[in-house]
Amino acid sequence: MKQLGLIIVIICGGLLLYATQDFPAWGDPTAPVHTHLSPHFITEGLHETGAPNLVTAVLADYRGYDTMFETVVVFCAGIACILLLRTFVQRTRGREYRHTPTGVVLHIQDPDKDLNNPREFELIDNMWVPHDLIIKTVSRMLIPFIQIFALYVVAHGDFSPGGGFQGGVIFGASLILLALSFDLRSSLRRISEKMLGILSALGVIIYSGIGIACMLLGGNFLDYGRLTAILPVDPDHIRAMGMLGVEIGVGFAVMAVMVIIYTNIASQGRHQQGL
């Protein structure tokens, strides 16, 4: 296997190196890459779309169709993780709960019985670890700031680096941090599996819904200019508004899917206990 690998690698690398001799020099402003399409994006992008961040302008407007499918890829990965990993195991017979304020441990024998006040108890099984006060407190302080930053990144994507995808990942990371520092159960209590599933679908529905709204208003798919008929916005900024709506959709979907993938991988699909 090692020899085979080396042979393939040498052939591929040789071919690729051979082809670099035709490339224009690195950073050369007269290369075809910089003279064919990009001058139009750079000089006209701001006027045509109203977004100073050209990457967002191209991402969400000129190539918005690509970005929709990029979100669909993420969505698909989330559903695939559910399809592959999620298992619904029967509750085991005996369960032990620890009452957090007092430290008393309860033993419950009936598998169908639930606790009256589950917030004050934690399940003790072979994966149970005692909580660390410092980590908990620090995360508790950090998480709101991370989330506000994520919202800023989504909302400010037109003007500065960032956008729906990055913001969604950061928001999802804050929820993953919650699951890491407390446990999976307490994070799923705040945002349930059902909620995550619906949010991920909602995100992509927002994106394609905006596109279809443009279609119903007489334009092509994702032609944000047509939204002037239903949004009371200055026509110069209508495309930027459309992009913002789309980015919010991307944010929802990506946030939900990141948490879905994490919960399924970390709990092997059982949703009992995180790391």
Distance in Å, CB of 108 to another protein, minimum: 25
If one asks whether residue 174 binds another protein (CB under 8 A), the answer comes out as no
Site for another protein in 198-217 (CB under 8 A): 198, 200-202, 204-205, 208, 211-212, 215
Site for another protein in 35-54 (CB under 8 A): 35-43, 45-47, 51-54
Site for another protein in 89-148 (CB under 8 A): none
Closer of 211 and 245 to another protein (Cβ) = 211
Contact track, another protein, 224-243, x by CB under 8 A: xx------------------
Query: Which amino acid type is present at position 69?
Result: F
Among 143, 191, 197, 228, binds another protein (CB under 8 A): 197
Interhelix angle 193-216/238-266, nearest 10 degrees? 150
Choosing from 131, 160, 189, 229, the residue that interacts with another protein (CB under 8 A) is 160
CB 228 within 8 A of CB 260: no
Comparing CA positions, the residue from 256, 242, 264, 270 lying closest to residue 60 is: 242
CB closer to another protein, 122 vs 200: 200
Nearest distance in Å: CB 66, another protein: 5
Eight-state DSSP code of residue 234: -
The distance of closest approach from Cβ of residue 96 to another protein in the complex, given in angstroms and rounded to an integer, is 23
Q: Which of 189, 187, 196, 151 is nearest to 169 (CA)?
A: 151
Q: How far is CA 203 from the centre of its chain?
A: 10
Distance CA 62, CA 56 (A): 9
SS3 217: coil
Which residue in 175, 248, 258, 271 binds another protein (CB under 8 A)? 258
Determine, following the binding rule CB under 8 A, whether residue 70 of this chain makes contact with another protein.
yes
Asked if 207 and 71 touch (Cβ cutoff 8 Å), the reply is yes
Q: What is the size of the binding site for another protein (CB under 8 A)?
A: 114
Which of 27, 244, 215 is closest to 154 using CA atoms? 244
Helix, strand, or coil (residue 108): strand
Among 29, 101, 130, 232, binds another protein (CB under 8 A): 29
The Cβ of residue 237 has, within 10 Å, a number of other Cβ atoms equal to 16
Closest CB 247 distance from another protein, rounded Å = 12
